[in-house]
Structures are given as structure tokens and as C-alpha cells.
């Protein structure tokens, strides 16, 4: 993880870009992966852990209707999270994460390991649906962070 994080911090610094995260199922692990790198204070703007639906609505202004209709773990919620984070943070790059980390809480429609990652940079917005095979909570969180870091690197 730290190798990718180091590359990202170096590239963001070089390009004078800033980054912000809105995390749900990773609970701050993504923010931690960047802030563990010396010099990250130049590029890391904010990390919001919007774990509850209430936090998503209150802090990220995700419409209640979106969560009611599609659920917290959905393309629509992830999109709303990243778009609104971008407005709030004014960062060059915004990332949102929402998913089912398990080992409980999964359903047939939304199994454990289902994670949506959102990325917004300028006018470009990408939402990626992932289905990680592990049933272990920390494994799902770590592979999610890794996937998010790879997504960030791909646009730098």
C-alpha cells in the first residue's frame, strides 16, 4: 500500500494538486494511507468518514431519497458522495468509497465485498463497481484502499 501512496503524494506534490476522500466502509483507512506519507500535508485536504447514512446526508448532502431508493451501497450514492465532496472540499481530486465490508450485512443483491469507488477530477467522474471475493472485513478494506490508490494513480 505505502508504495502506491508514496507515488501518489509525490505526483500530487509535483503537479500541485490536492486530494480529498469521503469514506464509508474503509473507515479512514484510505486517508491514513496518504497521511502516513511524510509531506502529505501539502496535498491532502480532507478525509471524511461518513459511515452512517445520517453522516452521508448531513455532511455530504446525499439526498435522503437516493439512500432510501438505491441504498447506501449503490452507484447513485457513490456518485452523489463524490460530486458533493468535490464541491465541499474544492480539491483537485475527490474520491468516495461505499461498500459492504462484512463479514455480516450482505444480501443476495448486495453481497459482502461489493464496493463502489467514485473519483472526480475536473469534469471527469468515474464510478467503479467492485466485487471482492474475500469475506474478511480487513481484507476487503485493504483491497478497497489498494483499488482506490490504483484509480488515483491512473488519472495522475
Delineate the domains of the chain, giving CATH numbers in brackets: 2-155 (3.90.950.20)
Q: Report pLDDT digits (tens) over 24-82.
A: 999 999 999 999 999 999 999 999 999 999 999 999 999 999 999 999 999 999 999 99
Question: What integer pLDDT is reported at residue 135 of this predicted model?
Answer: 87
**1: pLDDT confidence band, cut at 50, 70 and 90?**
low
Contact 151, 105 (CB under 8 A): no
pTM of this prediction?
0.96
How many helices (H) and strands (E) are present in the chain, helices listed first? 6, 5
Q: Report pLDDT digits (tens) over 95-149.
A: 999 999 999 999 999 999 999 999 999 999 999 999 999 989 999 999 999 999 9
d(CA 92, CA 112): 31
Amino acid at each position: 500500500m505505502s508504495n502506491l501512496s508514496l507515488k501518489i503524494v509525490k505526483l500530487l506534490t509535483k503537479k500541485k494538486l490536492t486530494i480529498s476522500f469521503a469514506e464509508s466502509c474503509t473507515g479512514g483507512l484510505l486517508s491514513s494511507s496518504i497521511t502516513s506519507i511524510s509531506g502529505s500535508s501539502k496535498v491532502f485536504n480532507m478525509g471524511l468518514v461518513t459511515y452512517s447514512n445520517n453522516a452521508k446526508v448531513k455532511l455530504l448532502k446525499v439526498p435522503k431519497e437516493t439512500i432510501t431508493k438505491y441504498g447506501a451501497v449503490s452507484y447513485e450514492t457513490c456518485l452523489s458522495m463524490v460530486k458533493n465532496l468535490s464541491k465541499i472540499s474544492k480539491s483537485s481530486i475527490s474520491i468516495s468509497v461505499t461498500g459492504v465490508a462484512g463479514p455480516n450485512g450482505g444480501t443476495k443483491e448486495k453481497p459482502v465485498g461489493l464496493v463502489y469507488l467514485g473519483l472526480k477530477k475536473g469534469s471527469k467522474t468515474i464510478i467503479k463497481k467492485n466485487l471482492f471475493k474475500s469475506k474478511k472485513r480487513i481484507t476487503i478494506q485493504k483491497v478497497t484502499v489498494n483499488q482506490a490508490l490504483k484509480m488515483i494513480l491512473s488519472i495522475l
